[in-house]
Amino acid sequence: MQALVSMIRITDILDKAQEYLSEEHLEMIEKAYIFSATVHQGQSRLSGEPYLIHPLEVTGMLVDMKLDIASIITGMLHDTVEDTLTTIEEIEEAFGKEVAFLVEGLTKISKIKFSSQLEQQAENFRKMMLAMSDDIRILLVRLADRMHNMRTLEYQPENKQKYISRETLEVYAPLASRLGINWMKVELEDLSFKYLFTEDYFDLIDRVAKKKEERDAYAEEVKRIIRENLEAFHLQAEVEGRAKHFYSIFNKMNEQHINFDEVYDLTAFRIILEANEVKGCYEALSVVHALWKPVPGRFKDYIAMPKANNYRSLHTTVIGPYGERVEIQIRTREMHEWAEEGIAAHWRYKEGKVSPDGGEDHIKRLRELFELQQEHKDAREFMHSLKMALFPDEVYIFTPRGDVKAFPKGATPIDFAYSIHTDVGNQCVGAKVNRNIVPLKYKLQNGDTVDIITQPGHHPSKDWLKYAVTSRAISKIKQWIKTEERDKSIAIGRDVLEREFKKVHLKLNQAARTDEFKEILAEQSLATADDLLALIGYGKISAKYIVNRIMPEEEVKEEIPVEKQKKKTKKSADAGISITGVDDVMVRFARCCTPLPGDDVVGYITRGRGVSVHVATCPGVQEMDPERLVDVKWNIGQKQAFPVNIRVICIDKRGLLSELSNVISNLGINISSANIDTIRGENATCDFELDVSDLDQFNTLVSALRKLKSVQTIERLRGSLPGGKRKAYM
Ligand code: MN
């Protein structure tokens, strides 16, 4: 049990912590230690050690990184909510809101499991981890947690070793790198390498070890030459020659398809200048370049152009003393600290203030680097902004299969559905988030697992546009609505136009074959009849206009003299009409509404054909020039016959016509024409043109007809009867 020998103790942690934390803080660490020891009591790790070792080791790492007191306490408590009966409320009561918030964050992100088999998913997982770490400290504690788990991975079964190593290599090591914490990245990579490619790992260790003496002697020689030359120019610097870490050698061999013997630069050299001056770095560079010939295209200036994680250094490769390539990094002590510790180096509090190691300068530079214009009250706010700058406003969502998808903040299940497939979006009726049904307007949260419920035949609604935020979803919904609206408009247009054509006894499909119809399509630059129907449906073209083009107005609207050919027009007095202020005007009764004495009527002064009398409610009147309308009154002296059209719908049976005719004749009413039409089924449509004396007689007739058992409905028809049937009239 080797681990027991090197077992960390609380006193080790307190010793290190007292270097930068107050007495009060040390007491808090002790309190957290006792709390953790109490709730984890009886639990043990797979190694057989008491569980408490784990939070202690994690906390020890955080103290080494000189993180603030809240991070330290969080390290001690990080598994209590996840693995014991402890609640967040208890943590908050004992250690305050800040610690409770951090522990809760850790509990949340510990549930993110990198399960996807897809390579390209790793970046989304990293982003998700970062987005879910509302505070960078959550991620720092999580990295320390993972580091200790990797260091003790040997106790896990093999399948778990592989899974955890893969997750570490693809998610955690790159995150450490992104945060600039090089030592973590290197160690996490090498540990993962060991478990993922065990044979290669031990083979490489063997090979590196075999050449160790030779390489050490070589490294000493190169270091000595560099040091002497720097001294000649009065540059004070530490020169390091360190073996590259195994995983980077392994990567190099794979990427360049070379074997171990061909990897000549196993050792990387580093010049760390003591003076915190940028110019010293460039001076050192020129010393090196004067000494050995630089390899073209290998110089990189990360001082002028720092990496996104604020890594700053000069990199160059030169041809060394034996004609071999030598990689050299040049940086100041301050840059070196950042390069190794990254964000952790700057997450240091001392009684609420950033540590005095020039951190303020770094923060200032970082602000500029990430172009953060706004002022930051404290380091935490700054870190938050830093995170926002590194990772835009996105939420990361799991598919049911465990893949991660990124969405803009505020995205809803509708956006998710359309990201899968247009059909999934269109037929989406609901969504389950973490197995619970949510409304479609639910705003997706980081780490949610979303499952879309679809129903074939279901359609998007206009409301969805209020909830969708991705351009894909919005355009797909709009496209659907447009198509649907067009279908509706075509149906409406067809209906309107058919009715309008019916008035002139034309069928739409007949009209559509006419040249005039084709002319209209061409004029409007329309490809199909449907396009025209859609425009009519939208109300952009009137159906009347189309009809008038195909059947010019005079053929449609012209009043046809009422009483057949023999009685064309009458003088007003004879016609039984008096016109206010005018005598003896030619009068005719409008064919379109066939007024009866008793109807409210109105006169229209025609051009050269006297006054035509319409029922006041006749739709035709609405379209007439109001200037030419005159008041007219019935003035019936002697009995006259007025034509009226009536439609009786009856149950079809034998002798129907004679039954109806009897009723009509018994009232002394003349039948000018009759037509019976039996359209499939039981109902017969009977149209009559009758001569009645007035509205009273007409109403009497209607009552009499109603009494017949077979009669269903009776309708006084305005306007002429269907012309096609006119010839069939008696
Ligand atoms: Mn843990």
Give the whole-number percent of the chain exceeding pLDDT 90.
Answer: 32
What pLDDT was estimated at residue 73?
Answer: 96
What pLDDT was estimated at residue 508?
Answer: 85
From 374-388, 647-661, 677-691, the region with the lowest mean pLDDT:
374-388
| DSSP per-residue codes, 376-399 | -SSHHHHHHHHHHHHS-SEEEEE-
Q: How confident is the model at residue 387 (pLDDT cuts 50, 70, 90)?
A: low
What SS3 state is found at 717?
A: strand
Q: How confident is the model at residue 511 (pLDDT cuts 50, 70, 90)?
A: confident
Average pLDDT for 24-32 = 95
> What whole-number distance in Å separates Cα of residue 124 and Cα of residue 175?
12
- Measured in Å, residue 153 CA sits from the centre of ligand 1 at 13
User: Could you report the per-residue pLDDT of 149-177, keeping only the tens digit for each?
Assistant: 999 999 999 999 999 999 999 889 988 88
- Strand partners of residue 91: none
With 50 as the cut, is the pLDDT of residue 562 above it? no
Average pLDDT for 642-664 = 83
With 70 as the cut, is the pLDDT of residue 584 above it? no
Contact present, 589 and 603 (Cβ < 8 Å):
no
- Measured in Å, residue 247 CA sits from the centre of ligand 1 at 25
Separation in Å, CA 22 to CA 25, 27, 574, 632: 5, 9, 120, 107
Q: How confident is the model at residue 606 (pLDDT cuts 50, 70, 90)?
A: low
Length of the chain in terms of residues written:
730
What pLDDT was estimated at residue 146?
Answer: 96
Q: Which residues contact 47 (CB under 8 A, 6 or more apart)?
A: 1, 3, 152, 155
With 90 as the cut, is the pLDDT of residue 450 above it? yes
Q: How confident is the model at residue 227 (pLDDT cuts 50, 70, 90)?
A: very high
What pLDDT was estimated at residue 257?
Answer: 87
What pLDDT was estimated at residue 491?
Answer: 81
- Measured in Å, residue 54 CA sits from the centre of ligand 1 at 7
With 50 as the cut, is the pLDDT of residue 433 above it? yes
Chain-wide mean pLDDT for the chain? 81
Question: What is the pTM for the complete model shown?
Answer: 0.58
- Measured in Å, residue 80 CA sits from the centre of ligand 1 at 9
- Measured in Å, residue 79 CA sits from the centre of ligand 1 at 5
Give the whole-number percent of the chain exceeding pLDDT 70.
Answer: 84
More confident residue, 666 or 291: 291
Listed residues: CB within 5 A of ion ligand 1: 79, 145
Name the pairing type of β-strands 325-332 and 267-273: parallel
With 80 as the cut, is the pLDDT of residue 571 above it? no
Burial status of residue 369 (CB atoms within 10 A of its CB: 0-12, 13-18, 19 or more): middle
- Measured in Å, residue 145 CA sits from the centre of ligand 1 at 5
Q: Which residues contact 519 (CB under 8 A, 6 or more apart)?
A: 549
What pLDDT was estimated at residue 728?
Answer: 25
Average pLDDT for 345-371 = 43
Average pLDDT for 317-345 = 87
User: Could you report the per-residue pLDDT of 631-641, keeping only the tens digit for each?
Assistant: 788 877 777 78
* Number of Cβ atoms within 10 Å of the Cβ of 116: 18
User: Could you report the per-residue pLDDT of 47-79, keeping only the tens digit for each?
Assistant: 888 999 999 999 999 999 888 899 999 999 999
Q: How confident is the model at residue 246 (pLDDT cuts 50, 70, 90)?
A: very high
Q: Please give the positions annotated as active site.
A: 82-83
With 70 as the cut, is the pLDDT of residue 501 above it? yes
- Measured in Å, residue 154 CA sits from the centre of ligand 1 at 16
User: Could you report the per-residue pLDDT of 254-293, keeping only the tens digit for each?
Assistant: 888 888 887 877 888 999 999 888 899 999 999 999 999 9
Q: How confident is the model at residue 358 (pLDDT cuts 50, 70, 90)?
A: very low
Q: How confident is the model at residue 346 (pLDDT cuts 50, 70, 90)?
A: low
